[in-house]
Amino acid sequence: MTERVVLAGADGKAIGTALKSEVHTTDTALHFAFSAWVTCHGKVLITRRALGKQTWPGVWTNSFCGHPGPGEATADAVMRRAEFELGIPADALSNLRVVLPNFSYRAVDSSGLVENEICPVYCVELDSQAQWQPNPDEVDSWEWVDPARLIAAADAVPAVFSPWMCEELAEAELRAALQSLAQ
């Protein structure tokens, strides 16, 4: 499958596309992405990125991430990617909401590859009865964790987690959204 990402100008407007397989380099162009947090029964799903991933292999992160394709609504891309990366069918997810609509970040991994993304952050609830199986090319392992404990861990040892996850968790709106799960 040839996947394209949408490139962005400094003003946050689309300016073209690039192959996903070629966009992440040591000089990555700004592009659109999203980050998603799956919740269920007061817990949040974190995943360890597969060891074959181009950027941040083997690092613990939020539930999943992805890129909207050309002409694709970001919310639709979230649902598409949930199925591809985690094996969660769209009908097992509900209450999709954007928590950090203006989030963006730039980070460099240990190999020198750069993430440079306009990346709204979503939360979505998983039906507890849903059957799902992560794609091993995307996810090495996963855990359901207490949001408060995850926030404390990310604050204490951020090097264990993806930089975007730690930056997202530093935002009061996401902390509040995740912590409200446990109440």
Catalytic center residues: 65, 117
31 annotated as a binding-site residue = yes
72 annotated as a binding-site residue = no
Give bridge partners of residue 38 from the DSSP assignment.
124
83 annotated as a binding-site residue = no
Dig out the tokens for 110 from the structure: 């240990």
Distance, CA of 56 to CA of 180 (rounded, Å) = 29
Q: Where does residue 171 fall: left (phi above 0), alpha (psi -120 to 50 degrees), or beta otherwise? A: beta
- In whole angstroms, how large is the CA radius of gyration of the chain? 15
85 annotated as a binding-site residue = yes
Indicate the burial class of 65 (C-beta count within 10 angstroms; 0-12, 13-18, 19 or more).
Answer: buried
Q: Is the dihedral of CA 108, 135, 124, 41 positive or negative?
A: negative
Which residue is listed with tokens 């689309």?
Answer: 14
67 annotated as a binding-site residue = yes
Distance, CA of 88 to CA of 44 (rounded, Å) = 15
Q: Are 68 and 17 in contact (CB under 8 A)?
A: no
41 annotated as a binding-site residue = no
Collapsing DSSP to helix, strand or coil, 41 comes out as coil
Binding residues for Mn(2+): 24, 31, 67, 115, 117
Annotated binding site for Mg(2+): 85
Residues of each annotated binding site:
24, 31, 67, 85, 115, 117
